[in-house]
Structure 1
Amino acid sequence: MQTGFDNQKYIDTQAARIRERITQFGGKLYLEFGGKLFDDYHASRVLPGFEPDSKARMLRQLADDAEVVFALNANDIEQGKRRSDIGISYGDDVLRLMDVFRGMGLAIGGVVITRFSGQPKAEAYQARLEQMGVSVYRHYPIAGYPTNVNLIVSGDGFGKNEYVKTTKPLVVVTAPGPGSGKLAVCLSQLYNEHERGIDAGYAKFETFPVWNLPLKHPVNVAYEAATADLDDSNIIDPYHLDAYGKVTVNYNRDVETFPVLKAIMEKIMGKSPYLSPTDMGVNMVGNCICDDDVCQEAARNEIVRRYFWEAERLERTGQGEAELARIALLMKEVGVDENYNPAHAAALVKEEVTGLPAGAMVLPDGSVITGKTSRLLGAASSLLLNALKRVAGVPDEVFVVSDEALVPIGRLKTEHLHSRNHRLHSDETLIALSISSATNPLAEQVIAATSALRGCTAYFSVIISRTDEAVYKKLGINVCCEPKFERGTYYHG
């Protein structure tokens, strides 16, 4: 895959930028950390070369001076809100993230349960954390937040919140998802630090939109596609343009709330250190793009993928029509359509020729490989096996998995596990390939090539099974499906 982003430069310059901001505020900084820390696959797709854990690796450079505080909305705990990408609750994700941070050598400052008003499950969650030895703090709803500045910045506002005891110069405030209250936690801590005579500041770290790329740069447009469900948009920061005469890009919500945020900081600190929302950010991503053409191309492909993902969601749930229409408009803005990736048309042609579901994938060398539904393999399994053989240099006519290895698995599925589908899913095909590798060196060669498919995109003529999709995801292969099911049933597992 082509590289368009200098990852090591990013890690070094981003850490240096945060250190500068700590110094600006006299040695104490609350850094609101937006987006995903450890699994930022969106960034890695639109900025080829960006590693999904780059931000975490950057923080590791600051480990001696940093601690992490988690914000978690009590209402999200009560409702059992889950992360859609990895399927676990917000509460469990905080535990997962704490383990990862501790493994990096970062201190855990505690968990703040925001908007607490006696929710029973939030109380139970707090008790659970405290039994583990984790410090938990409660922050409460404030009437008129965020516009009632006089009440917010008072003993009856932020002053009622429990003060989070921190000891490090850098306090990273993060959360398992949006709406958790990271900003309110940072501002509450600023108020309580200043009440105690401690100088402290606030900054925001968001990867997207990239402030120093053009508004309609495909990377920024791809972010709008990724957040189509939020009904927000990227806009020019008018405050930055007015203050400095420079055009920068920001998110409309940040621009809309800036006057209130500025007023709160003025009330707390006497004077706001920032003249614009862009001023608050410390993001260095735009400075580390080393091949803009590569990133633009990657972003265009991401917008198309988002279109197919939203179309599949609409087919599965009946929800997302407005979001799909919005992404369709964004595709037009960057000059692409559903057939931008040649694998899409190739999958549909393969299905037309064979009369059965099919798939196609663009390989790292730019060639397109297809896979069809066969007697023993589903389309996803067939495509995966064909792609692995191609990148491993094994001729297509050479069999690396014998029928003797495949047939018993299919029989086990139908005769003993009572599955209606005897064809092998992708995980079962990989198991058969692994068994074959014990006696066939070519099978071992094919298995060793799995990493070569990371970052590729596969298109299918039907919505594939969750099992196949999960295997592709683990291999780092992006999956897009034509928004239709193979069978005309009411329920699709």
Structure 2
Amino acid sequence: MKFGFDNNKYLTMQSEHIKERISQFGDKLYLEFGGKLFDDYHASRVLPGFEPDSKLRMLMQLSDQAEIVIAINAADIEKNKIRHDLGITYDVDVFRLIQSFTDKGLYVGSVVITQYSGQNSADLFKSKLEKMGIKVYRHYTIDGYPSNVSLIVSDEGYGRNDYIETTKPLVIITAPGPGSGKMATCLSQLYHENKRGIKAGYAKFETFPVWNIPLKHPVNLAYEAATADLNDVNMIDPFHLEAYGKTTVNYNRDVEIFPVLSAIFEGIYGECPYKSPTDMGVNMAGFCVVDDEACREASMQEIIRRYYQALSRLARDMGSKEEVYKIELLMKQAKITTEMRKVVNAASQLAEEKGSPAAALELDDGTIVTGKTTNLLGASAALLLNAVKVLGNIPHDIHLISPSAIEPIQKLKINYLGSKNPRLHTDEVLIALSACAAADPNAQVALEQLPKLKGREAHTSVLLSDVDVKVFKKLGVNLTCEPIYEEKKIYH
């Protein structure tokens, strides 16, 4: 993989810039953290060299000055909103985030439940947190938000919200996902701090869109593809252009809300400290791109992956045609076709030749490995075995798992566990491989190759089961699937 991003430079620049922003306001800075604070795999895919935990590592450099407040929308608790990348609800993710931050030595000060209007589920969630010794605050719905500025900036608006007690000069406001009320939490705190005579400021840390690269750069287009379901649109920041005569990139929601934010700042301070949405940001990622071509290529591949993911969600009745159409338009703008993803053609050709599902994976050196469906193995399971054989220089005709070892597993699946598919899934074949590794040196060598699959590209000619998808994800393989079920059924 070609590296296009200097991660060490980023860690240094970003932490220094945040320190500068803290000093700009004096007493305290409320920093809204957009996107994922750790496990930011989108950024690592489109900016090769960016480590998924870079933002977390940067924060750890500021750990003595920082505390974290996690925001969650009461409506998301009520409807059990799910993080699709993790398959867990937002309220469960709050516990995960608290544990993850604490394990890294970062201080989580409290949780704030936003847009609270008496939801019973939110009350139960609050009680559960408090029993664990975690402080919980409530912020209420405000009529006419965000346009009714006179009400918002009053004792009946922000003033009605609980004041979140904080002790550090840098307060990170993060959340399980979008729409959690991070910005409103920051602004509410500014109102309360100002009434207490504390000079506090607000800034926003969001990696994408990258404000100082072109609007139609593939890195920024990949962000639009990633948020196609939210209908986010990148655009030139008109306020920044008017104020400074410089072209910068922001996205529609920040641009649309800026006049309201400016009015709220004026209501709190008497003046707005920022002239544009871009001014509010502290993101230094654009200054750390060291190979633009590598980032362009990586981002174009990400857009194709997002396209297949949108098609797969639509096939599973979990997405929308509008999401697919938007990504198709982005592909046309960037002059991208699915043929640029080599594993797509390889999997499709093999499936057509064999008349059954097939899979393909591209190794680091460009070698394409394929897997076909057999009586013993599904295509994705066969693909993994073939890939580790190539990586371990093991002859193709050697059985890493003997057919006699697979047959008892099939008997268990069919006769005792009620499965209708006798073929081994990827998780089952990896367990069988690990069992064989105890006595077979070739199987042991093959098992040791699994970490080398991280970051590799794979494609299957049919939709995979959730089990197989999760295994590829855990291995770090960038998987896409044709939006076709292996069998035509009413229920899958």
Answer yes or no: is the 8 Å Cα contact 2:30–2:201 preserved in 1. Answer: yes
| Count of aligned positions | 492
Letter of the structure 2 residue corresponding to residue 442 of structure 1: N
Answer yes or no: is the 8 Å Cα contact 2:350–2:358 preserved in 1. Answer: yes
Pair 1:365-2:350 in alignment? no
Pair 1:11-2:16 in alignment? no
1:241 equivalent in structure 2: 241
Once the two structures are overlaid, the 10-residue window that deviates more, 70-79 or 200-209, is 70-79
- Distance in 2 between the 1:233 and 1:103 partners? 36
Letter of the structure 1 residue corresponding to residue 369 of structure 2: I
Please list every run of at least 4 consecutive aligned residues from structure 1 whose deviation after the TM superposition is greater than 3 angstroms. none
2:167 equivalent in structure 1: 167
Once the two structures are overlaid, the 10-residue window that deviates more, 318-327 or 198-207, is 318-327
Superposition pairs of residues 182-201 of structure 1, within 5 angstroms: 182-201=182-201
1:420 equivalent in structure 2: 420
SS in 2 for 1:136: strand
Pair 1:351-2:355 in alignment? no
- Distance in 2 between the 1:393 and 1:280 partners? 53
Shift of 1:318: 6.6
1:430 equivalent in structure 2: 430
SS in 1 for 2:82: coil
Pair 1:293-2:293 in alignment? yes
1:145 equivalent in structure 2: 145
2:465 equivalent in structure 1: 465
- Distance in 2 between the 1:373 and 1:312 partners? 21
- Distance in 1 between the 2:156 and 2:242 partners? 35
Pair 1:276-2:246 in alignment? no
- Distance in 1 between the 2:73 and 2:468 partners? 34
Letter of the structure 2 residue corresponding to residue 481 of structure 1: C
- Distance in 1 between the 2:257 and 2:177 partners? 19
| Per-residue deviation, residues 330-372 of structure 1 (Å, max 9, x unmatched) | 1111111122111111111101111110011111111111110
Pair 1:112-2:112 in alignment? yes
Superposition pairs of residues 20-59 of structure 1, within 5 angstroms: 20-59=20-59
- Distance in 1 between the 2:376 and 2:96 partners? 39
Superposition pairs of residues 304-323 of structure 1, within 5 angstroms: 304-317=304-317, 319-323=319-323
If the length of structure 2 is used for normalisation, what is the TM-score? 0.98
If the length of structure 1 is used for normalisation, what is the TM-score? 0.98
1:394 equivalent in structure 2: 394
Letter of the structure 2 residue corresponding to residue 303 of structure 1: I
| Per-residue deviation, residues 127-171 of structure 1 (Å, max 9, x unmatched) | 111111111111111112111212111111111111001010000
Letter of the structure 1 residue corresponding to residue 23 of structure 2: T
- Distance in 2 between the 1:318 and 1:272 partners? 42
Answer yes or no: is the 8 Å Cα contact 2:27–2:198 preserved in 1. Answer: no
- Distance in 2 between the 1:476 and 1:319 partners? 24
1:478 equivalent in structure 2: 478
SS in 1 for 2:267: helix
1:178 equivalent in structure 2: 178
2:124 equivalent in structure 1: 124
Shift of 1:389: 1.4
2:375 equivalent in structure 1: 375
Unaligned runs of 5+ in 1: none
- Distance in 1 between the 2:12 and 2:403 partners? 52
Percent identical residues: 58
1:86 equivalent in structure 2: 86
SS in 2 for 1:279: helix
- Distance in 2 between the 1:43 and 1:393 partners? 33
- Distance in 2 between the 1:296 and 1:212 partners? 15
- Distance in 1 between the 2:96 and 2:199 partners? 32
- Distance in 2 between the 1:318 and 1:267 partners? 42
| Per-residue deviation, residues 450-474 of structure 1 (Å, max 9, x unmatched) | 1111111111111111111110000
Shift of 1:419: 1.1
1:212 equivalent in structure 2: 212
1:385 equivalent in structure 2: 385
- Distance in 1 between the 2:10 and 2:328 partners? 32
Shift of 1:382: 0.6
| Per-residue deviation, residues 371-395 of structure 1 (Å, max 9, x unmatched) | 1001211000011111111122223
Answer yes or no: is the 8 Å Cα contact 2:381–2:429 preserved in 1. Answer: yes
Letter of the structure 2 residue corresponding to residue 245 of structure 1: G
Letter of the structure 2 residue corresponding to residue 386 of structure 1: N
SS in 2 for 1:115: strand
Pair 1:157-2:161 in alignment? no
Pair 1:228-2:237 in alignment? no
- Distance in 1 between the 2:393 and 2:281 partners? 47
Shift of 1:405: 2.2
SS in 2 for 1:421: coil
- Distance in 1 between the 2:156 and 2:352 partners? 68
Shift of 1:125: 1.0
2:454 equivalent in structure 1: 454
Pair 1:267-2:267 in alignment? yes
- Distance in 1 between the 2:159 and 2:79 partners? 27
SS in 1 for 2:418: coil
SS in 2 for 1:317: coil
| Per-residue deviation, residues 391-438 of structure 1 (Å, max 9, x unmatched) | 222232332222222222112111221211111111111111111111
- Distance in 2 between the 1:232 and 1:466 partners? 28
Shift of 1:322: 1.1
Once the two structures are overlaid, the 10-residue window that deviates more, 41-50 or 196-205, is 41-50
